[in-house]
Structure formats: structure tokens, C-alpha cells
Structure 1
């Protein structure tokens, strides 16, 4: 069973997908193949991950029809600006080996050059109008970024991909998005490695509240966290390179969390993010050249 969510332009996407952040290119093909074999039909990558080509190769070699696989990628900040972003699409599509990308999003807001962010989004609107992409969106946009974008955009973003897991749920960002028809999509939905690097927390996988819920359902802590995210109406894109974990992560549609269990997991929020502060994203610190296709 593949649960789907409907975006604000009536395009549907599988609610659970495979993320390939920090997956080395040579491991990406195998991870995507394992995911497709396990029933995934949604793959999330990004120009900045350096593995779009391997994602495309794995999909092409899988025997699964291209029309059945929802491909999502992101434009990096170095390619912001109207013409630059149009070319960023050409680079990503070329590496993925596709004519059309299902969902193309801006990887970060660029607060120090927000005019370039807006020009990049205008390019996404053009790509959408031209049928080059089926849906457009943003990633790591906070409420003030969304407000500034919505003030000038002609197309409301379909998705805002943000860090969301039990220790950092960003309920305020999700709620603002929901008011405007923007789907929240959780990266690091099981509290990935970026979170506990600086946060002083142990792994979410060892949290006693989550472990207790998992034991009650005969499921793993990771499965409980993914189910929790889905119950909150999000798309979730867990990352793994291990076939057994990839298969485990999609096996989350045969149990339900109780209201008390949901509330207990909600109560774990620390308000501390694991990824970079959105306001700290600058071209000087994070800019990198995205190679041609």
C-alpha cells in the first residue's frame, strides 16, 4: 500500500519517500533500487547532494515505469536568479535523465539576497507553466520567508520541506503552511545524525517515550516516528542505504498511534534544530558550483 497526499494543484505524491541526503553517489544506485524493490515510488534528491545522476540511473534500470516514480529535486542557492534557476533545472533534468521533474523546490531561503530567492522562484513558476515540472515548492523556509514569498508569488508553493522530527517539530511553520495550502515535508523525520551532533541529545531512536510506544506496537522506534509524522499530515522522506532499513521504513501503514501516544511524542519537542540556522545561509558560507549535466 502506498499512501498518497494531494498537493494544492491536485498533483498527488506518495506520502513516504526515500531521501538520499549524504548518500555517496556509488551507494545511491543501490539504495534507490532497494527502495523501488520495497515499494517506494517517491525519491527525493537535490543538486547539492551530487547524486542526481545515480538516482536517475537507478530509476531507469529498475523496470518500474517512469510515470510511477515521483522524482523530487532541489535548486541550490548558487543557481538562484531567474536565468540561473532555469539553467539549474536543465542541469538537474539532464542528470536525472528526464524531460519533466515531478517536484522542483528551492533548497534554502537566501535571506541576505532574498531578491535572488524571489527571482529563482519566478523561474520555478515559468517551468511549471511550461510543463517542465509538475509542482514547485521550497525547503527550509521559515514563516517570514513564506510571507515575503507569498506577497509576490503568483503560484503558492505546493511543499515546504523542513526539518521535522519528535525533538524539533516546527509546528508553527507547518501550521502557517497549512493555512495557505502548503504541504509540510519532513526531512530527517527520525531525527537524523545532524540533530544530535550539536544538540546534546542522545538519539531519538533511544528515547524512552518512543521506545515504549514502539514496544506496544511491535514496531521499531523509527517506524513509530514515521507513523507519527504521517499522522500529522506530513510527507516524510527517511534516508537509509541499508536494504533492510529501507524496507522497514515503508512498513508503517499497518498500525495506528493512539491520541495519548501522539501527545506523548509531541511532548518531546526541544525547540532546537539540528540543521543550519536558516538565517545563516549565505552564498559566502554555503555557495558551491553545481556541475553541468
Structure 2
């Protein structure tokens, strides 16, 4: 907390900082710093420091903070006003009702990506035989997509790929914490290359390929919020000049790994879904195309079925 007079009394005596008082002060401080969700950020960070659920903060509004707790919380505040994402400060992010470890090596899971997971869940559940087979998650990051699918489809197997060994280490840790390690395989490499290297195992074997690839056009990176631009891995954001580089590779190479009734499900950026549909229509290996909107009405997920 930058203003020392806010922490100590006029006579230098240590003041009593209750949970309620520190939350109110932090909310105002974050507002002045221009943060988008000052109250929520304050609550999440304080819950992290106290190792309690957020409801605890309201039930124990008048509880005094200990000096050691204030010191840790002060450091969290300093990091947040420098626009470090809350998830990187706490090391955790909730996604699909599950707790995932995240680090600066991984993209922070977004609510929009839950639309992708829900779409895949619904389509795999449509056939019990598909639930007992394997999917591939390309660009897995923290593992949030594939591990959520494994959690909610108990017979499913998954192979995950990421070019970053640091990201794969986080995904493997999340798999262990969620008790899913036995049903997940982690391969390091560029997009579909690890599957090609083991084509005898994967060619024509997958029920689905899922991916949330980098899709921000390169020229738009500089205009992203500082929380994203300065802290999240650029390699997980930069989709090339038009944002479609990684989609082109998935569309060109993905069908060979799918079963006859398999599908490719991808998260898409704003205004990209129709472009992806057009790309798929130009290729002979893709048939039916589904486009799914998010809660804001944005075309967010593209599902392509192998012809």
C-alpha cells in the first residue's frame, strides 16, 4: 500500500486493519489505478492471502488482519497495480468448475473457452462409443480444455500437445491434482507434428481434435489490455498477420487423424468464424460446419466434421 499514512496513525502507532477496512481501501486504490474490477480483484487476492473462500471475508468483516498477512497482501496489491493478472498472482484460475494452476507460461483460461468445452462435451456425449475413445488438444497450455473434458467424460482419453515445455509441465501438474494423469498423454511439439511423428498410433483414430489456438492478428497485439499484452505468453496470442495462421494448419492437416465421424472444434476470435467456414469449404476433407455463439452473441466456436 503506497501511502504510508494510510497504514499507520498520525503518531506512528500501528492501526488496526480489519478485513472490511482493508477491502474498502484496496477497492478505492484499484479504482484510482484504473483496474476494471477493483472490488473483485481485492476480494480474490485477500482470499488467496488468507487461504479462505470469499464468503469468509463477509462473515468475518470485522476480523483484524495480522501483520504478516498485511505484508503479503501489500505485495499482491503492488503487483496488481502494475497490471499483473490476478490469476498469475494467485497461481490459480477456476474453469468449468475446476481449479487450475496457471503461470506466465500459460494463457489464463477465459469464460469464452467454456463455450468450446461445452460444445465438445455435447457432441461426444451424442455417441457412447465416442466417449470411450481419444481426443487431441492442440496448444493445451494449462490443460484446462482437455482436463475439463476428461473430468466430465470419465471414459475419455486425451493426448495433449504444446510447443512450450513449461506449459506442458503446468498441464501435467494440473492432471495430477485432478486425478486425471492416467487418461492424459502430454507431447511437446509444434501443433500436429507430434501426432504425425506417431502416425501409426493416431492416424484415423481420434474422435475429436479441439484447439484454442493463437488467433490475435499481429497488428492488434499492441492494442491489447496491458494485463494481457505485457504478461501473457505472446506465443499463445499471436496468430500471424491476419490471425488465421494456426487455423490454416489445423484445417490442412487435422482431418487425417480423425475417425470417419470425427470433428475438429476450435475457438475463434471476433469476425473469424465465417472466415474459417470459408476456408473449410475450400478443402475437400471437410463437410458439415457448425458455428456456435457465446452469451454475447459472438460467433465463438467452429465445429467441422470430417467428410
Q: TM-score, normalised by structure 1?
A: 0.31
- From the CA coordinates, give the structure whose radius of gyration is larger: 2
Q: Name which structure has the greater RCO, CA cutoff 8 Å, separation 6+.
A: 1
